[in-house]
Amino acid sequence: MSEENLYTFENEAYRKTYWHTCSHVMAQAVKRLYPQAKLAIGPSIDNGWYYDFDCDFSFTQEHLDAIEAEMKKICKERLQLVRSEKPREEAIAYMDSLGEPYKVELINDLPADAVISFYTQGEFTDLCAGPHLDSTGRIKANAFKLTQCCGAYWRGDSKRKMLQRIYGVAFPKKEELDAYLLQQEEARKRDHNKLGRELEYFTTVDVIGQGLPILLPKGARVIQLLQRWIEDEEQKRGYLLTKTPLMAKRDLYRISGHWDHYRDGMFLLGNRDDADDDTKEMYALRPMTCPFQYQVFLNRARSYRDLPMRLGETSTLFRNEDSGEMHGLIRVRQFTISEGHLVLRPEQLEEEFKGCLELAKYALDTVGMLENCTFRFSQWDPANPNNKYEGTPEQWELAQATMKTILDDLKVDYTVGVDEAAFYGPKLDIQYKNVYGKEDTIVTIQVDMLLAERFGMEYTDVDGQKKIPYIIHRTSLGCYERTLAYLIERFAGALPLWMMPTQVRILPITDRAHDYAKDLEGKLSAAGIRTESDLRSEKLGYKIREAQLQKIPYMLVIGDRDMENGTVSVRTRGGVDLGAMLPDEFMAKCLTEIATKDRSF
């Protein structure tokens, strides 16, 4: 049996070995063409590989093309990859003689007892632990592509030199490469970070800062619609609305545990050096709403009759994440979320958890995202070295066992995420992937048996005893900025009618129809349909194309005959001609689709 039969591309280890071998071939090609380039590192990644080079000129597309051509030659040369070892001093002297300072640094950083291995293919030798394919001939010469080149700091350290990183991807067959490249092109078209800016949903500006997006009128409108809907839905489900401060003294976060467990993630208002000096005043912007909403419960003595108490708030939160992590509307430093905390008796836990899950599923289903969600039961890791978790092992075992029973009773199909829990308890995380396949949490429901006690929360039970309640922390649609990003990607900008910033655009064919158009606009607007008229003296075809590019759901074309008959000619953004209708008829159709949150087109 040949080696290929034992290893397939579906096998992650094999795939990564293949891609990593490609990185050696790429480095060899670069050294052949540009001997002055210095080699840094070249690992495989989730979708291909990269290699970092230090070079005195910038790689352009022409360079990448030349490197690709040289790589094809190397594949056809069928060079064997031969492993060898060298003692540390010899290894350093060798890489020094080749003029590779980054490799020398890497060897110096290896532990004293490390085996230092090299792989040689033809005239090219690289420091590497392996493994690799046994020959460059195993790489299909027509099924790889260098996809991009960008700057990357040596060792990810912004104080070190900026190197050039070339990315590549490879497959066993050319058809698979072509399919992948096509899919990436489609993803780029849907990427909210591009499309959302082009359609003017949001922008970012340097003087405000990274991760602090500005919602332009269209984006602000969509988020307002989502918020109103969720607030109304929560009211129907027995939630009490709260409005609590965006900041608090450090004393509050000390009680909640955020001061100990999350301080680096918070924006402190005051001198960070005084953070532990109690004689100096210190505030912090809130990273979550929990400790604020607990004060609502604590406002007066509570009995079992007050429970469950479901508190909801459209809450703006602040998280001091690394600027390198920022991405459009998905990873931001300030965001708004439908936060909620349910204070309950232990025997109410399952029922309330179920209610939270139903609300989240309803919300995600209504906007068309549920079908692409996955569920993760996020648990603690007792061995977490950073002392991340509060509470005793017994408390964690109880919380996780209870949650497992609930999830199994509700027949939730979940995966387990170890060391993904909140510091106060396990979570059910609803996960969603962006167009490039990068996964983030969109909604979370968390069971907390610890924090109520820390805040002195108690209630008088039926038997007259004082007891400590349980808490559920939950969201129902995730943070609105992130949800907007996913919706733009999911619908390629063509959001369902009910949440489109502009729902109808009226397109008069001639100036004669302007008054009719304005009347109609007034009538639709009065009925709550977001309508605008395009009164420019452009050709109709041009106006239609522009409305379609803006993804406006309905276009009402008005010609002379429509004016005579008192009708409108209805077209959809998908290019379907629905023919002439009476304005009332169109309005009724539109209002029904809005009321039912229709997303059929």
DSSP 198-244: HTTSEE--TTT-TT-PEEPHHHHHHHHHHHHHHHHHHHHTTPEE---
Q: Which two tokens stand for residue 73?
A: 């030659």
Residue closer to Zn ion by CB (options 117, 320) is 117
Contact between 133 and Zn ion by CB under 5 A: the answer reads no
The type of residue at 99 is G
- We find the least distance from the C-beta atom of residue 84 to Zn ion, in angstroms, to be 13
Q: What residues numbered 156-195 form the site for Zn ion, per CB under 5 A?
A: none
Number of residues forming the site for Zn ion (CB under 5 A): 4
Residue closer to Zn ion by CB (options 136, 434) is 136
- The window from 177-185, 195-203, 300-308, 471-479 that contacts Zn ion (CB under 5 A) reads 471-479
Contact between 520 and Zn ion by CB under 5 A: the answer reads no
Residue closer to Zn ion by CB (options 128, 556) is 128
For residue 390, which phi and psi values (nearest 5 degrees)? -90, 160
- The window from 103-111, 286-294, 541-549, 562-570 that contacts Zn ion (CB under 5 A) reads 286-294
Instruction: List, edge to edge, every strand of the sheet that includes 240-241.
Output: 240-241, 309-318, 334-344, 470-479, 439-448, 427-433, 374-379, 414-418
Residue closer to Zn ion by CB (options 287, 328) is 287
Q: CA 69 to CA 121: how far, in whole Å?
A: 17
Contact between 286 and Zn ion by CB under 5 A: the answer reads no
- The window from 95-103, 126-134, 227-235, 274-282 that contacts Zn ion (CB under 5 A) reads 126-134
Contact between 128 and Zn ion by CB under 5 A: the answer reads yes
Residue closer to Zn ion by CB (options 290, 468) is 290
Q: CA 480 to CA 31: how far, in whole Å?
A: 48
Contact between 290 and Zn ion by CB under 5 A: the answer reads yes
- The window from 188-196, 282-290, 455-463, 563-571 that contacts Zn ion (CB under 5 A) reads 282-290
Contact residue for Zn ion among 38, 327, 473, 551 (CB under 5 A): 473
- We find the least distance from the C-beta atom of residue 347 to Zn ion, in angstroms, to be 22
Q: CA 24 to CA 44: how far, in whole Å?
A: 10
Residue closer to Zn ion by CB (options 37, 128) is 128
Residue closer to Zn ion by CB (options 128, 555) is 128
Within 10 angstroms of residue 170's Cβ, the number of other Cβ atoms is: 27
- The window from 8-16, 103-111, 469-477, 508-516 that contacts Zn ion (CB under 5 A) reads 469-477
Q: Which two tokens stand for residue 98?
A: 């080749």
Q: Which of 247, 236, 326, 243 is nearest to 288 (CA)?
A: 247
Name the packing angle between helices 480-490 and 217-236 (round to 10°): 110
For residue 170, the cross-strand partners are 144
Residue closer to Zn ion by CB (options 218, 473) is 473
Check: CB of residue 139 under 8 Å from CB of residue 18: yes
Distance of CA 342 to the CA centre of its chain: 26
- The window from 70-78, 92-100, 346-354, 467-475 that contacts Zn ion (CB under 5 A) reads 467-475
Q: Which of 145, 163, 146 is nearest to 154 (CA)?
A: 163
Residue closer to Zn ion by CB (options 127, 330) is 127
Contact between 282 and Zn ion by CB under 5 A: the answer reads no
- The window from 93-101, 283-291, 362-370, 425-433 that contacts Zn ion (CB under 5 A) reads 283-291
* Strands (DSSP E) found in 70-228: 82-85, 117-121, 124-127, 144-153, 162-170, 202-203, 214-215
Residues at the contact surface with Zn ion, assessed by CB under 5 A: 128, 288, 290, 473
